[in-house]
Amino acid sequence: MSADRPDDRRLRRKDLDPARVAARDTLRAVRERDAYANLVLPKMLRERHITGRDAALATELTYGTARAQGIIDAIIAAAAGRPVAEIDGQLLDVLRLGAYQLLRTRIGSHAAVSTSVDLVRAENGMGPAGFVNAVLRKISQRDEDIWVDELAPSVADDIVGHLAFRYAHPRWIAEVFFSALGGSAGLLQAALAADDERPPVHLVARPGFITAEELALASGGEVGDHSPYCVYLPGGDPGELDAVREGFAGVQDEGSQLVARAVAVAPVVGEDGGRWLDMCAGPGGKAALLGALADINGAHVDAVEVSEHRAELIRKTVRDLPVHVQVADARAAGLDPGFDRILLDAPCSGLGSLRRRPEARWRRQPADVDELVVLQRELLTEAVRLVRPGGLVVYSTCSPHPAETVEVVSSVLAEHPDVEQIDARPLVPADQLGDGPHVQLWPHLHGTDAMFLAVLRRME
C-alpha cells in the first residue's frame, strides 16, 4: 500500500459515513472469517449506536451486496480487467459495496463513488483509492441490464445459466431449483427473482400468550396469509417489541410456522398420549411454537439438540413451556420409543432460506448435499423407530433439493414397509401445493422460505 500523505491523515480524522463503514466492516468479517452477516451487523449497529436511517442504509447495503455478490464480482472483473481473486480483499469489499449502490439502488453515482473512494483513502491511501475510483466510474457507465446482456450466457443457448447470472445465484443452485420446479423456465425465473429480494420480517404469535391479531395491532404489522400465528412486520427492529422481549412472540418465517403447526394438527390413529418429540430442535423457534401448542393440548415435548450452545438458546426460548431440552445426537439419544408425534426438521443445505442468509448461496457447494443426505436418512430412520404405531413423523427441510426431500423420504419408505406417507396438503392452509403427497413451499408462490414437509405414519 502507498505511504500516507497529509490529505490521507486528514481524511482519517474526519467522520466517514457510519452506515457505509458498518456495511464494509460486516462484508469484511464475512470474507475473512466466514461470519454470517445477519449475526455480525445487528451487533455492530448496537455497539456503534447506529440507528434510524443510518441503520436502515447499512442493512440494505450489507445484505444487498452479499446477496448479489456473484453478479457484482463478474461486473467488477470486467471493469477492472482482472479476476476478483487478484484484487486485494480490503479493496474488493469496498468495490462490491460501491458497485451494489451503482447497480441496485437509487443512490446517485457521485455519492456511491465518492464515499467508496473515501473509505479506501482513509485506510489504504491515494493509490488504491485511485484504482477503486477508476473501476467504479467504469461500472457506472452502464446499468445492470446492459452489463447482464454483455456478461451473462445467452437465453437461447443456456436459459438456466442466464437466469442464474441475472438473479445472482450459483448455477448449480439454479439447476436444483429448475429440477424441483419440473423443468419450467418461467417458474425458475419467478423463484430466483423472489429469492433475490430482501424478505420481510415474519413474526410468530405464540398461541396461549398472544393472538396474531393482537400482535399485529401492537407491532403495526399485518396478519399473515397462511399461518394463523403469523404477522408480517413492515419495518423496524423486532427485538424492540414488548411482545418479543417478553417471549409472547418471536421472529420466525411463516413456512417454519406451518411445519410446526402440521405436527400438532396431523391426525394420529388412536389416542394422543401427549408424547411429542422435536429431534433437531436448535435454535428453538419450532420447539417454542410446538411447545405452546403442546401446552394447549396437554402434551409434553422432548427437544433434542446436539450442540450445548444451541440447547441453551432453546431453553431460553421455551421457558414456561412443557418442553424438556436434552443435549444429544438425535440418532442415538437413548429415547424410549412410543412418541405420538415427531418433528424432524433435519439439518440441510438451507437452499430454501437463501434470501434470509444472503452470503450462504456463495458458500454452499454441491458436495455439501451428499454428506447431509446420509445424515438425513439416518435421522429419519431413527424417527421411524421412535414413533408409535399410529403415530406421525413430520420430516421437513429448509431446502427444495430433491436429494434432501423426496429422495430421502422414498429411500426410508422403501426400507420400512410398515410406514406409509400420508397427504400433507390438508395440514397446510395455503394454495398451490402441487400434486402431493408432500408439500413444497416457495417464496414466489407462498411468500415463505422454500420449506419442504412430508408426513409419515407408522401403520398399526
Residues identified as active-site: 398
In 3-state terms, what secondary structure has residue 32?
helix
Q: CA 131 to CA 108: how far, in whole Å?
A: 20
Annotated binding residue 200: no
Strands (E), 359-443: 387-397, 419-422, 439-440
**Residues pairing with 222 in the sheet:** 232
The DSSP string of 168-232 is T--HHHHHHHHHHTTT-HHHHHHHHHHHTSPPPEEEEE-TTT--HHHHHHHHT-EE-SS-TTEEE
Beta-bridged to residue 105, according to DSSP, are none
417 is in an annotated binding site: no
Residue 237 marked ligand-binding? no
Which residue type, as a one-letter code, is found at position 365? Q
Q: How far apart are the first and last CA of the chain?
A: 73
Q: Is 305 annotated as a binding residue?
A: yes
List 278's β-bridge partners, or say none: 303, 343
DSSP secondary structure letters along 52-121: HHHHHHHHHHHHHHHHTHHHHHHHHHHHHTS-GGGS-HHHHHHHHHHHHHHHHS---HHHHHHHHHHHHH
284 assigned ligand-binding residue: yes
SS in 3 state form for 217-273?
Answer: HHHCCEECCCCCCEEEECCCCHHHCHHHHCCCEEECCHHHHHHHHHHHHCCCCCCCC
Helix, strand, or coil (residue 303): strand
Handedness of CA 77, 78, 80, 86 (dihedral sign): positive
CB 393 within 8 Å of CB 384: yes
Pair 76, 104: CB distance under 8 Å: no
User: In Å, how far from its chain's centre is CA 447?
Assistant: 13
Strand 230-233 and strand 201-205: the pairing is: antiparallel
Which residue ranges make up the annotated binding site?
Answer: 280-286, 305, 329, 345
Which residue ranges make up the annotated binding site for S-adenosyl-L-methionine?
Answer: 280-286, 305, 329, 345
